[in-house]
Amino acid sequence: MKKVAILVILILVSITGSVLAENNNQILLDEVQFLPQSPPGDWSFNSNCGPTAALIMASYLQDFSPTVEHLKTAIDWLYNNNYIVPQTSYGAEHYDGNLTNMGQLKKLLENHWQTGFVIKRNACHLDKLRQEIEKDNPVMVAVHIKMNTAKLGHFMVVIGMTDSEVIVHDPGRTAGQFNRYDLDTFVNSWRTASNCASLFVEEQVVTWHPDGALISSVNESDVYVLIDGKKNLIDSDQVFEAHDFPRDMVIEVSDLELSCYDDGFIVDWQPVRELFQVEDGTILLYEKASHDSSHCALYEFSSEFAYRSWTIDERLQVLTDQQAEDQYFWRCDLMDTLYVRDGTLVKPNYPISGFGRGVVFVASGNGRLRAFSTEQAYNEMGYADKYLYHANQNELEGSFRLFDPDITMEMAHRCLNSYYITGGSYDENEMDMDNDGYTVNKGDCDDADPLMHPGATESCNGLDDNCNSFTDEGKLCPDGATCLGLAGCYYQETFTDQDLVEPEPEPEELEDEIEPEQDPCQGVSHCLSCRTEQDCYAFDSCDGNNQVSFSGYCLYEGYCHREIIPCQFGCLNGVCNTPQQPDQDQIEDEPEAEMEPDSPEEQDNCPSMDDLVTCTFTCPADMQAYAWYASFGEAIGSPSVTVNSPLRDICLRGQPWIDFNCACLYPSLWSCYDHTVATIECNLPFDRRAGGNGEGEIWFPGIQCW
């Protein structure tokens, strides 16, 4: 008896298991109500599968029960708007309707039932179909009656899927609810009947893509390239090919999105292009606007990876420098450097500082990379099936210039011509464009900068951070320092040797303090925060003790790159005064007390150029330490490295500093790096800072190289 019971249990388990297996990964919108396409009319001559399928979708999305009266109203709407005419068949009834197509049914959904924007897609991708079902979104498909390719064209509504079946409401049968077809049969019919046409309602539509994107309406074949936020029509296939645009990167967008861009120019020229590589490996692009053009231009690719991203279908010539000069350089203008081509998708295979590993970027603005903030943004903007370049550190470095703000769903839903749809608002000032919680109407004085909004902390940066109509108000700088607006806090008091260069917070401390919304320059002198390169300017400033030279580059850490140079002889015209022959009187006039070191050892040791500078940089055990100094020196060690060099060599760069970094050894050298994890010991006082290119720097404030 016991054995029988066990057997029964095993059988039940087996049956249950097989049922579960059959329903594996089933997703079903079981609350979608069904209505057959007849009545009204009768089954003969009945052509109402289209409006009935649309009604099934609309009733679910708008939460009403579909009835014959609803269907008759829809058929009347199609007649009244001249989309269909009554059939002329003998025996056909008024409410037998007539043939409809996807374009008409899209209008029926959008305009009659006002479901919101409807996407028509031709793509034989079951995963995309499933994605819509998972979003609680039934999908209309153009197939055949009973999925039989030998039968008539028909519309059904997909309401569920399993690993092996599609579940539909088929309005062409009285018993058409929850009909199941195996996936192969379905796809065969779907593809044969309509090249996999589908309709679904998009509740919130993507209406923006970054510059460089190639876009095309789902309803038209015209392709546009986005430049400066405008859509520029590519005049013909020949023009498209001549520009080496990658065909597989064209993104289908809604008509609404197309209407969101102002018209730019018509791309109607077919450039003549040649590629060549010179002796140092640099690859250049020669370009003329046409065969007849007498003017030519040369563009240098910033890296081989950048060159590949341009997908230029020309043979690469390898030339000697002399050949390149003779053939190209003497007669062409040298133009901008070409970085990764705008619109290119790049996925670094190493962690990027500030982003981590696995982030996907899209290039935009010749050398600017923008990360997708979420996978949803990446998918919904149509990039999921586009070509993705995987790049290692060697390939990517030098292929771009800087990072721009991440692409968020908020950005994807904006509309640049002041026609806004998100949240039902049609007012730009009602939109929170920088995602800081404030709109213009709510007092955001710069809706492109998330650091600026009511309630934000005011910083010394020349901006009205808290949007109270006052700039840099209040006490924003430490004691003894003055806020100079854009140039940050400046110390006006006399410097001692120890604070000849105002010490900045240790990077570790700084990073601990940094939160995404915080200003990295807050409380830091000579610092200008930035989000893009446009926020930085190249300029020099001098306050009598230090010259601060801003290079115009925005560092990853969020502030403008600058060098702080102590001035031995004061300032002249905004920079350090460097007299050719120092006036002895002037030197003597320099207050001795101000130059005297505070520390006893420095009081005793005025360093000479022959003195050794000894610094040890120690990285974690699984990293390798690097130090760069003078104009040539590189020292490497694991996990630490010691620089032992005469001051004369350290000063070969004109200023006394050493660059350093810690590089990961695994999975490969430089697969990651972080200068902030290094500990440093030196025989001279030093200031530690974050430098360019993700490196750290130490400066010796007590050293005057010249």
Binding site for another protein (CB under 8 A): 37-38, 42-50, 81-84, 87-92, 97, 99-104, 142-145, 149-155, 172-176, 185, 192-194, 197
Nearer to another protein, 23 or 174 (CB): 174
Nearer to another protein, 190 or 673 (CB): 190
At its nearest, how many Å lie between another protein and the CB of residue 258? 18
| Least distance from another protein to the Cβ atom of residue 207, Å | 24
Is the C-alpha dihedral spanning 306, 308, 311, 313 positive or negative? positive
User: For residue 608, how many other CB atoms are within 10 A of its CB?
Assistant: 9
CB of residue 197 to another protein, shortest distance in Å = 8
Cβ nearer to another protein, comparing 221 with 469: 221
- Nearer to another protein by Cβ, of 23 and 81: the residue is 81
Of 65 and 88, CB closest to another protein: 88
Helices marked H in 362-484 — which ranges? 375-380, 393-396, 409-412
Give the sign of the dihedral formed by CA 163, CA 165, CA 375, CA 224: positive
Q: Which of 613, 634, 621 is nearest to 695 (CA)?
A: 634
Query: What's the closest the beta carbon of residue 255 comes to another protein, in angstroms?
Result: 15
The least distance separating another protein from the CB of residue 193, rounded to whole angstroms, comes to 6
Tell me the closest approach of the beta carbon of residue 196 to another protein, in angstroms.
13
Residues 183, 262: Cα–Cα separation, whole Å: 43
Closest approach of another protein to the CB of residue 223, in Å? 18
Please give the Cα distance from 203 to 57 (Å, whole number).
Answer: 13
Give 337: exposed, middle or buried? Use CB within 10 Å, 0-12, 13-18, 19+: middle
Amino acid identity, residue 330? W
Of the pair 78, 684, the CB lying nearest another protein is at 78
Q: Which two tokens stand for residue 232?
A: 């520029």
Q: For the chain, give the longest Cα–Cα distance.
A: 116
Q: How far is the CB of 322 from another protein (least distance, A)?
A: 56
Beta bridge partners, 390, equal 347
Structure-block tokens of residue 547: 């010259």
Angle ∠(84,86,92) on CA atoms, nearest 5: 135
Could you tell me how far CA 186 lies from the centroid of its own chain? 37
Q: Kindly state the smallest distance separating residue 122's Cβ from another protein, in Å.
A: 9
Measured distance CA(444)–CA(292) in Å, rounded: 52
Cα torsion at 39, 45, 47, 53 (round to 10°)?
A: 40
Nearer to another protein (CB atom), residue 89 or residue 605: 89
Report the residue number, 119 or 362, with the smaller CB distance to another protein.
119
- Which of 216/379 has CB closer to another protein? 216
Q: Based on C-alpha coordinates, what's the Rg of the chain? A: 34
